Amino acid sequence: MASERLPLAAAMIVRDEEATLACAIQSVAPVVSQLVVVDTGSRDGTVELARSLGAEVHAIRWTDNFAAARNEALARVGQPWVLVLDADEELVADDVPTLARAVASPFASGYNLRVVSLVGSGREFTDARVTRLFRVGPTIRYRGRVHEQVADSLIAAGGSLASLDVRLLHTGYLPAVMTAKHKQERNLALLSRAAGEEPDQPYWQFQLGQTLLALGRVDEARTAYAASASRLAPTAPLAPVVVASAIRAAVAAEDWAAAEGLARAGVATHPSYTDLYWLWGLVLLQRDRLDAARTCFERCLALGPPRGYLQSELGVGTYLPKVALAEVAQKAGHGDQALAWLLSALRDQPGRLATWMMVDALTAGTPPEVLAQHLGLVLSATLRQQIVSDLEDLPPRCRAALTTSAV
Where do you find CATH 1.25.40 in the chain? 322-403
- CA 229, 232, 238, 240 dihedral sign is positive
pLDDT value of residue 380: 92
pLDDT value of residue 178: 46
Distance of CA 98 to the CA centre of its chain: 20
CATH topology of domain 322-403: 1.25.40
Burial class (CB in 10 A: 0-12, 13-18, 19+), 2: exposed
pLDDT value of residue 94: 95
2-176 classified as CATH 3.90.550.10: yes
**What's the rounded Cα separation, in Å, for the pair 168 and 126?**
12
Where do you find CATH 3.90.550.10 in the chain? 2-176
Give the total residue count for the chain.
407
Beta strands per DSSP E along 92-191: 110-119, 124-135, 161-170
Enclosing H/E stretch for 24: helix 21-28
pLDDT value of residue 175: 57
Q: Tell me the pairing of strands 81-84 and 8-14.
A: parallel
Whole-number Cα distances in Å, 374 to 121, 328, 338, 406, 407: 28, 20, 13, 10, 8
pLDDT value of residue 181: 55
Tens digit of pLDDT per residue, the chain (407 long)?
Answer: 344 799 999 999 999 999 999 999 999 999 999 999 999 999 999 999 999 999 999 999 999 999 999 999 999 999 999 999 999 999 999 999 999 999 999 999 999 999 988 765 545 677 889 999 999 999 999 999 999 999 999 999 999 999 999 999 998 654 555 455 578 888 999 999 999 999 999 999 999 999 999 899 999 999 999 999 999 999 999 999 999 999 999 999 999 999 999 999 999 999 999 999 999 999 999 999 999 999 999 999 999 999 889 888 889 999 999 999 999 999 999 999 999 999 999 999 998 999 999 999 999 988 889 999 999 999 999 999 999 998 999 999 999 999 985 44
pLDDT value of residue 123: 57
Query: Of 309, 254, 300, which is closest to residue 276 (Cα–Cα)?
Result: 300
pLDDT value of residue 122: 47
